[in-house]
A and B are shown apart, each in its own frame.
Chain A
Amino acid sequence: MGAYVSLPTWWRSNDSRYRLVLGKCPECGAHNFPAEGVCASCNADADFEEVEPEGTGTVQAVTVISGGAPPEFDEYQTREGAFATGIVELAEGARLPGMFCDCDPSEVSRGDRVEAVVRRLYEQEGVPRYGVKFRPVE
């Protein structure tokens, strides 16, 4: 019990999970992530133009989770220890949350440049779930 994302729901969002597809608002030009709902910037209920971002961005906020990860990430935390997770603003302007990888978690800071890479996130009901994490770029 508790929070749960079913497999069909996960798969429905594959374009967002793997390619970070953004929705460009035809009214105000803002990029929305995920590409659904009304525009978060101007509230327009318009058909978004799908835009595939380059996949680089800047860290806007970061925290290091030292214990009590969401249960989906229990195994990961047991194996890897503390991990960094934060909010990244893509070059196109949309924000999304993401874990940081291939780095020392304590070294990730606001303002750092990062790029999206597809990683195994967690396993549930015997099915590995994949999606984007972010790794630092020089």
Chain B
Amino acid sequence: MNDVYVVGAGQTDYGSFPRESYRSLFKEAVDTAVDSVDAEFDRESVDEAYVGTLGVGGRQLGLPGPAVTEFAGLNGTATTRVENACAASGVALRQAVLAVRAGVADVALAGGFEVMNDVSSERTGEWLGVSGETEWERMAGTTFSGVYAQMADAHMAEHGTTREHLSRVAVKNHANGAKNPHAQLGFETTLADAMNAPAVADPLNLFDCCPTSDGASAVLVASRDAAEELTDNPIRIAGAGQSSGRVGLFQRPTLTEIPATQRAAEQAYDEADIGPEDVEFAEVHDCFSIAELLAYEDLGFCERGEGGPYVASGATEPDGERPVNLSGGLKAKGHPIGATGGGQVVEVFKQLRGEAGDRQVSGLSRGLTHNVGGSGGAVAVHVFEEGWA
């Protein structure tokens, strides 16, 4: 199997950008990724491109992939649009990895985009929640935050998770996001403010929820031979796992776990020949605060049911045993659906290369990304290691 390396990664700021289009955002992400490559990079050397987008708002429902790759100068590159809800670009990355491993591509691009803030509030309602199970879950009046709220309710009842545990995720991720120039909500918050925010879907409040975001991301991967021409500071993709699960929460055997995360992580760990204890830091899918606690447990960072005490212990703070969401996570950095998985890779790439500025944690050599679609219908997990194999 061919080894695969990340040779470049870039993203736009996440936020609300009424002057930008989905095309201009994607091109900016590609330009930034190209600029991050150590050697001169010819974008026409990209053999395969995988572009994640849900298509919020409708804009270019057919052919959104070629619509952005041609615009960004990847002339004629084989382009495939990936739709797996919020896991679109995490899954796009795995497709790029598979193409290089298969020997079909020497260089491949994975990325994504979403524009969510130029849609009228009436239409926004039509688009948010389209990744829930439609016929039953949505038609029971359930919103997307409502599904995660139900998971939080069950987790609190089964494991004693508290309001404060949930808010500690928000406080930590906002503190990290305040150091990230790309972050949409780059401000700090206090525990009291996070705990007392207005209700959205009880028990979740405003500070338990990520924002809606515009943004794009792009990651360039290469085979060993191609990577040797492009960098002396390689980041290897040591493991790439993906799994599916039932789309509706009610259809799954548990309300307090995401089985697809467990399966994707097991595959990624097996490929990397590591266990969860070997993961030094991670970017996990904290679309809602409860989702980060579930991620700790499903990825094996702590015991089942111990996600709340684990965050309260400080273990996932920047100076803890295993920093999580140094970028600010979806909570503070933002969540442009199709771009999110690629954006997670940007943070891991920067941390492993020592290029993360004010939020750099020193001495990191192995990181993980965890990207969830819907409430667990699709999950991608990747493990990244510094250096040649």
Contact A85 B153 (CB under 8 A): no
Q: Is A71 an interface residue (CB 8 A)?
A: yes
Q: Is A99 an interface residue (CB 8 A)?
A: yes
Q: Is A21 an interface residue (CB 8 A)?
A: no
Contact A65 B136 (CB under 8 A): no
Provide the bound-state CA to CA distance between A9 and B139, in Å: 13
Which of A5, A76, A86 meets B139, CB within 8 Å? A5
DSSP class of B's interface residues: helix, strand, loop or mixed?
A: mixed
Name the interface size band of chain A.
35 or more
- Tell me the nearest residue of chain A to B150, going by C-beta: A61
Q: Are A85 and B200 CB-contacts (below 8 A) given A60-B255, A61-B255?
A: no
Residues of A that sit less than 8 Å from B by CB: 1-5, 9, 13, 33-34, 40-41, 60-74, 76, 83, 85-87, 95-99, 106, 110-111, 121-122, 129, 131
Provide the bound-state CA to CA distance between A111 and B156, in Å: 13
Question: Could you name 27 residue pairs across A and B whose Cβ atoms are closer than 8 Å?
Answer: A1-B58, A1-B123, A1-B126, A2-B127, A2-B130, A3-B134, A9-B135, A40-B246, A62-B153, A63-B201, A63-B203, A65-B141, A65-B143, A68-B143, A68-B200, A69-B143, A70-B141, A70-B142, A86-B150, A87-B250, A96-B140, A97-B136, A97-B137, A97-B248, A97-B249, A99-B141, A110-B157
Task: Name the residue in A66, A97, A129 with the highest tally of chain B Cβ atoms < 10 Å from its Cβ.
Answer: A97
Provide the bound-state CA to CA distance between A1 and B249, in Å: 24
CB distance from A88 to the nearest CB of B (A): 9
Provide the bound-state CA to CA distance between A40 and B128, in Å: 27
Contact A87 B135 (CB under 8 A): no
Provide the bound-state CA to CA distance between A129 and B135, in Å: 12
Chain B residues with Cβ below 8 Å from A63 are 142, 146, 149-150, 153, 201-204
Provide the bound-state CA to CA distance between A3 and B130, in Å: 5
- Tell me the nearest residue of chain A to B157, going by C-beta: A110
- Please encode chain B, from 244 to 256, with 1 for each CB lying within 8 Å of some chain A CB and 0 for all others: 0010111101010
Provide the bound-state CA to CA distance between A3 and B149, in Å: 21
Q: Is B129 an interface residue (CB 8 A)?
A: yes
Task: Name the residue in A33, A68, A111 with the highest tally of chain B Cβ atoms < 10 Å from its Cβ.
Answer: A68
Contact A66 B246 (CB under 8 A): no
Contact B123 A85 (CB under 8 A): no
Provide the bound-state CA to CA distance between A124 and B248, in Å: 23
Query: Which 5 pairs, one residue from A and one from B, show the smallest C-beta to C-beta distance?
Result: A2-B126, A63-B149, A61-B150, A97-B140, A64-B202
- Please encode chain B, from 110 to 129, with 1 for each CB lying within 8 Å of some chain A CB and 0 for all others: 00000000000011011111
Contact A66 B136 (CB under 8 A): no
Contact B135 A70 (CB under 8 A): no
Q: Is B359 an interface residue (CB 8 A)?
A: no
CB distance from A56 to the nearest CB of B (A): 17
Q: Are A87 and B150 CB-contacts (below 8 A) given A3-B130, A9-B135, A97-B137?
A: yes
Provide the bound-state CA to CA distance between A55 and B204, in Å: 29
Chain B residues with Cβ below 8 Å from A96 are 136, 140, 250
Contact B201 A64 (CB under 8 A): yes
Contact A61 B154 (CB under 8 A): yes
CB distance from A101 to the nearest CB of B (A): 11
DSSP class of A's interface residues: helix, strand, loop or mixed?
A: mixed
Q: Is B104 an interface residue (CB 8 A)?
A: no
CB distance from A15 to the nearest CB of B (A): 14
Chain B residues with Cβ below 8 Å from A74 are 125
Q: Is B138 an interface residue (CB 8 A)?
A: yes
Contact A70 B143 (CB under 8 A): yes
CB distance from B142 to the nearest CB of A (A): 5
CB distance from B259 to the nearest CB of A (A): 12
CB distance from A105 to the nearest CB of B (A): 9
CB distance from A75 to the nearest CB of B (A): 12
- Tell me the nearest residue of chain B to A1, going by C-beta: B58
Contact A3 B201 (CB under 8 A): no
Provide the bound-state CA to CA distance between A66 and B197, in Å: 13
CB distance from B67 to the nearest CB of A (A): 18
Q: Is B199 an interface residue (CB 8 A)?
A: yes
New A-B pairs, 13, CB < 8 Å, besides A69-B143, A87-B250: A2-B126, A41-B253, A64-B199, A70-B138, A70-B143, A72-B138, A85-B141, A87-B255, A96-B140, A99-B140, A110-B153, A122-B139, A131-B139
